[in-house]
Structure 1
Amino acid sequence: MDHSNGVVGVLKKFKNKYPDLYEFILFNIMSNVATITNFIVLWLGTGIFFKGLDSSFNWWIFHYNASQGGLGGFLSFLVAYICAQIVNFIVQRKVVFGATVQIKKVLFWYVLTVAVAGIISVWLPPYIIQQLTPIIGGWAATVANIVNIVIQVVINYPMMKFVIMK
């Protein structure tokens, strides 16, 4: 069966002509697996698992008032982020980069990258939620999560491409 003129053929030609752009697009498409994981865990956390933990939570740079979800909001964003990053590492390593490097050799860099992006991703939401709740109500946490996802791409893609998966 010849796929040279179909969708597969077009994709192969595009990949050969623009390998870096193809990789970046694939990275973002496959990041959606982690994004879906992130949203599911966030919604389960805020809606079920941590719902009753709505007292204010303040520790270090993290300030989650009751109106921003409190301790339950903090835990929901944290657990969602961790689950998404585990899924993301596996998907990016296998599908996007086809990396064969030993995990123990790159684990430090991945954990460091995830920690930096994670601190931002857990610190930022209450500020976004505070600003947006009067405008969009309960959707503010979802928008905060979208902002987190964009920040993660900006941090994670260059680190994965040039340091972790090479």
Structure 2
Amino acid sequence: MGKIKQLIEDHPNIWEFIKFNVLSNCATITNFIIMWLCTGFIFKSFANTPFKFLVFNYADNIESNLGLCGFLSFLVATAAAQTVNFFVQKNLVFKSNAAFEKAVPKYIVLAVVLVLVSAALPAYSQSFFVNIGISEALAPTLANVLNILVQVVLSYPTMKFWIMPNK
């Protein structure tokens, strides 16, 4: 245990990034549960309804991207996960003293960007996965994994330096 404490003391930024990723699993778990509930039950009746608006293309390859069901499922799952993530990151990872009323609007900007990316990307990534031979049943899960990786790359530096800096 002493070596771990020493590692944490010697490399606090690495430890913070590890905590960020480990505790992001609270949001990840939320994301997967909501996505599975939405695609399997809540929005399932919209799976054959095409949806296309701006960059959101859930009309082409509807059998692999689940149409409006896919769009709504990824949108709701990402929004729920980002809500959980805000509180986990602010309180447990960054232990930020940033004023809540200043952090929330900034986080909403980040969350909107993440929701837009996460709602647009699966229509393309699911089709890609199916086209390379991945089953249509597994494609939404892999698309969700890709979404989560993109979210980490965008979220960590934005939260650390802009939304939740310690003063």
Displaced runs of 4 or more, over 3 A: none
Q: Which residue of 1 aligns with 2:12?
A: 19
Distance 2:95 2:83 in 1: 16
Query: Structure 1: which amino acid aligns with 2:94?
Result: F
1:35-57 alpha-carbon deviations (Å, 9 max, x no partner):
00000000000001000012111
Q: Which residue of 2 aligns with 1:79?
A: 76
The CA deviation at 1:100 is 2.3
Q: Which residue of 2 aligns with 1:3?
A: none
The CA deviation at 1:10 is 3.1
The CA deviation at 1:13 is 1.4
Greater RCO, 1 or 2 (C-alpha within 8 Å, sep 6+): 2
Distance 2:162 2:113 in 1: 15
Structure 2 spans left out of the alignment, 5+ residues: none
RMSD: 1.1
Task: Name the count of aligned residue pairs.
Answer: 159
Distance 1:124 1:156 in 2: 16
Q: Secondary structure at the match of 1:58?
A: strand
Query: Structure 2: which amino acid aligns with 1:61?
Result: V
Q: Which residue of 2 aligns with 1:36?
A: 29
**How do 1:14-163 residues align onto structure 2 when only pairs under 5 Å count?**
14-54=7-47, 55-65=49-59, 66-67=62-63, 68-134=65-131, 135-137=133-135, 138-163=137-162
The CA deviation at 1:124 is 0.7
Structure 1 spans left out of the alignment, 5+ residues: 1-5
